[in-house]
Amino acid sequence: MDETCLRVAQFDLSMKREWDQFVDAHEKGTFFHKIVWKNIIEKTFSYQSLYLACYKGLRLTGVLPLFYLKSIFGGKALISTPFGVYGGVLANDAESEKKLIHAAKDCAEELGASYIELRQQFAIQYPDLQIKDKLYCTFIQKISDSPEGNLALLPREARRLVRRAIANGLEVHFTREIKEFYHIYAASVRNLGTPVFPVSLFENIFSEAGAQADILLVTHKGKGVAGVMSFYYKQTVLPYYGGSLPSKRYLAPNNYMYYSLINHASEKGISYFDFGRSKVNTGAYHFKRHMGFSPTPLPYQYYLMNGARIPNNNPLNPKFRLAIGIWRRLPLAMTKVIGPKIVKQFP
């Protein structure tokens, strides 16, 4: 076989080990490029995956995880990766990047998709790729190897709230029990006007990710008041699904929860805390800044087919304002039933 010839192949199970080894070895590889995320999303939402691998001869030189989605609001699209902070093309060279994008375009045309969305953490160069870089930011910081050092990393007000939480008698526990966490998370996202994910998502995360995921639960007098499910990958912890009971915010559980997670990660030998993405100038964005983290814009990139426009299916879009207001007033039990049925429309 010609060692200089580039070819693209669709993923099959025989490629799993090779794919994951490539992601692990690549400096820009993320948890969301791994096959574990493919399995979680397929099992939870039944989306069709189209994972593309680029080879130079027999050597794997690039990967592109894609899912084909049909949304009421966004139409048909190829997304890398749905419900993931990061995604997009991961390659060793520009030629492999171009080959994968070209193959993705062919798939989009065949499926009648309106656009390809690449949730790049780092922008790539390709003709006609458009960037939407003013919507989301990520927050990544190196952490200390001691609780004292991590407390010192926090701004004064955040430190005060951590001490206030301790004085209020809050405690933290690590668990794999989903029920109590799910109730807290559902109440938190309902308060934000966002549909909650199905319980099966968290069950599938534990069954697929194993020790790469856990839940930190903050309790007060033995009852959960806040919680966060986190991912551990390479030298980074990523708190991914988190929230607190709106009625218990006076106890200051949020600062204490993330400070405790930082210390837990440090004890595990982890060096970086990735606070995930937030929309610019939202409450979550400012909370992370007030925890001492600096924002870095995420250059999500799009290839638009046949004159399509960059989608705007996020809660900041004024067309969703009325729906968000109604959702916040719905009974929590109702949102737990309805939310999982509609959340897949907002990948």
At 68-94, the pLDDT tens digits run 999 887 789 999 999 999 999 999 999
Report the pLDDT averaged over residues 198-208.
98
pLDDT in the model for residue 54: 97
Range with lowest mean pLDDT among 46-50, 324-328, 339-343? 324-328
State the CB neighbour count (10 A cutoff) for residue 219: 17
Q: What is the mean pLDDT of the chain?
A: 93
Q: List the domains of the chain with CATH numbers.
A: 6-133+298-313 (3.40.630.30), 138-295 (3.40.630.30)
pLDDT in the model for residue 310: 83
**1 falls in which pLDDT band (50, 70, 90)?**
very low
Q: What CA–CA distance (Å, rounded) separates 299 from 321?
A: 25
Q: The dihedral of CA 47, 87, 71, 201: what is its sign?
A: positive
Residues 6+ apart with CB under 8 A from 116: 66, 77, 78, 79, 80, 101, 104, 105, 108, 302, 303, 305
Q: What CA–CA distance (Å, rounded) separates 160 from 166?
A: 10
**321 falls in which pLDDT band (50, 70, 90)?**
confident
Per DSSP, helices labelled H in 118-170 are 147-153, 156-167
CB 224 within 8 A of CB 184: yes
Report the pLDDT averaged over residues 280-290.
93
Residues 6+ apart with CB under 8 A from 97: 62, 89, 91, 124, 125, 126
Tokens representing 186? 């559902």
pLDDT tens readout for residues 143-158:
999 999 999 999 999 9
